[in-house]
Structure 1
């Protein structure tokens, strides 16, 4: 088990049959065999526990006391040699965040080195009455201005757009349209160049006649 500071403590639990459908259990300190708590576990005719949990107060070696709950709900009494193994425990050692993921609702979930996942925040989206009034800044950022109005902050999918985790937005440039505009500009440039050349020839001809 782990205490409030994430320090690991070893505990042992022993079972002893007292009668039909009746087993006593004893919780001990795994380091020295000191008895911590005890009780009796009863089973019905189907082998299911009648009292599937027990709350105990554990006195740890450093003087701390901590409440914990023993879950016996998965134990079944069946014929044969009795065997009990730990299915799960919800305590964990200390951990630091090594990664994160973003859900479609904007929730940011951090992944810790101890295997736990915790919610660390939520992304909010903002809309403006006049988006064209925003002031463009460096790095693709925009600032609020009197023309844009104040931001209206909302959660994703509540009228402020959606978040698609792990997706990369493709370019929204229309390649065919841009190539067409480039060709039009090129033709206009060539036409203007011919006009300038013709005008230059006319000026030269006029100067020659004057001489």
Structure 2
């Protein structure tokens, strides 16, 4: 079994490196992210089991980010902050955090909190968010398989691999049909329409947007983490 991945979201570089070092020594796979605006894309690009989230971040504060992540994911989140007032702690917990730790703190205590939160997560529980099985040509949302055709699967992967980028119908056609067959724009539109419907029925709404005169875009604001197998 691979080590559980803890994402440290902290803009104090020395503290982030210290936490990563302690977590790695405890047997976790730990990485750091310093910019709050990039966290959702970072989470969506890999397999994250828990987030250590600082309250004060550049671009977007940790509480707002916590609420955005919690809107579509049950990934465990531990808030870290120097704001020790009871009202602040309640705001963090009400915002979706699983635990709250006040600065200054001992890195050993942080590791213990991480271990305790992960221990409460049921063994074998399905991973939250979007999972893409490239070898099996299958996709799952919150553990449930999406009933996708091979063309819809390739469309999903192309769009999801380029969050926030508008892909033209020609781009999608070239990526979906490797034999370069002649396919009308309306055919691509129909495939995208069916893909969007299946995603919405599974609980992931507004993930794909139409870009007038261009094609389609996977919305980077989607907070669902994606795991590649």
Indicate whether the TM-score tops 0.5.
Answer: no
Q: Which interval holds the TM-score relative to the shorter structure? A: under 0.3
Structure (1 or 2) with the greater helix fraction: 2
Which protein, 1 or 2, shows the higher relative CO under an 8 Å CA cutoff with sep ≥ 6?
Answer: 2
Q: Which has the larger radius of gyration?
A: 1
TM-score by length of 2: 0.19
TM-score (norm 1): 0.20
